[in-house]
Amino acid sequence: MAFELPALKYSFDALEPHIDTKTMQIHHGKHHAGYTNNLNNAIKDTPLEGLSIEEILKNLDMNNTAVRNNGGGYFNHNLFWNILSPNGGGVPSGDLAEAIDLSFGSFDEFKSIFSKAAGTRFGSGWAWLCVHPNGKLEICSTANQDNPLMQGIGCGGRPILALDVWEHAYYLNYQNRRPDYIAGFFNVIDWSIVSELFKK
């Protein structure tokens, strides 16, 4: 079974004005579709074919550039679309809110550290919120399409929140103003989904 580009749960214009329609169309329909096709081509007729994307990334030979870049791109965008919602924003509640307070002191402090991780990633990459088996949360950032499932990238745990800071994610609307894009992202985070991922 080849990997498939997942359909969005909302329309391309649903995240306006925080993420614009044209960016969503190109980002999902061209970039994410491209990673999906390239991943399928890279694993075809290899031992990786038939594994889940998580299994592929957790055990990946990091010198396998095609799967590292496209498998990462496939997984990262799946998570990114999943944790966005036109009805998002606000603050988390319940167990996740408690874990954020325990790990970072407060939601505002979490937001500040996460925004800094996203804002200071030089070039292309991602910012992450990850949960460790003991429930402790970690914020980190990775280059290119690397992610916390991969070994030896200095970013661990299971990712439950992802922010794409490649220029293709924001440049049409925000140009060089990455901090404004990061601030907009907080208005479309679906904390109910992030909470579900936290509990898994």
- Rounded to a whole number of angstroms, the minimum distance from the CB of residue 103 to Mn ion is 27
Q: Which single residue brings its beta carbon nearest to Mn ion?
A: 164
Q: Which is nearer to Mn ion, 85 or 145 (CB)?
A: 145
Amino acid at 31: H
At 22, list the tokens: 């044209």
Positive/negative CA dihedral, 151, 156, 161, 164: negative
Q: Which of 39-47, 58-66, 82-90, 169-177 is the region at the interface with Mn ion (rule: CB under 5 A)?
A: 169-177
Q: Which is nearer to Mn ion, 78 or 195 (CB)?
A: 78
At 155, list the tokens: 């970013």
Which residues, including other chains, have CB under 8 Å from residue 192's CB and lie 6 or more apart? Answer: none
Per-residue contact string for residues 122-161; x = within reach of Mn ion by CB under 5 A: ----------------------------------------
- Rounded to a whole number of angstroms, the minimum distance from the CB of residue 54 to Mn ion is 19
Q: Which is nearer to Mn ion, 166 or 181 (CB)?
A: 166
Among 164, 170, 178, 194, binds Mn ion (CB under 5 A): 164
- Rounded to a whole number of angstroms, the minimum distance from the CB of residue 185 to Mn ion is 13
Helices (H), the chain: 21-26, 33-43, 53-58, 65-82, 94-104, 107-120, 171-174, 178-185, 191-199
117-153 b/e (C-beta count within 10 Å ≥ 16 → b)? bbeebeeebbbbbbbeeeeebbbbbbebbbbbbbeee
Q: Which is nearer to Mn ion, 24 or 131 (CB)?
A: 24
Q: Which of 34-42, 109-117, 162-170, 183-191 is the region at the interface with Mn ion (rule: CB under 5 A)?
A: 162-170
58-67 b/e (C-beta count within 10 Å ≥ 16 → b)? eebeeeeeeb
- Rounded to a whole number of angstroms, the minimum distance from the CB of residue 188 to Mn ion is 15
- Rounded to a whole number of angstroms, the minimum distance from the CB of residue 136 to Mn ion is 28
- Rounded to a whole number of angstroms, the minimum distance from the CB of residue 27 to Mn ion is 6
Q: How many residues are recorded in the chain? A: 200
3-state secondary structure at position 1: coil
Q: Which is nearer to Mn ion, 92 or 125 (CB)?
A: 125
**Residues of this chain that bind Mn ion (CB under 5 A):** 164, 166, 169
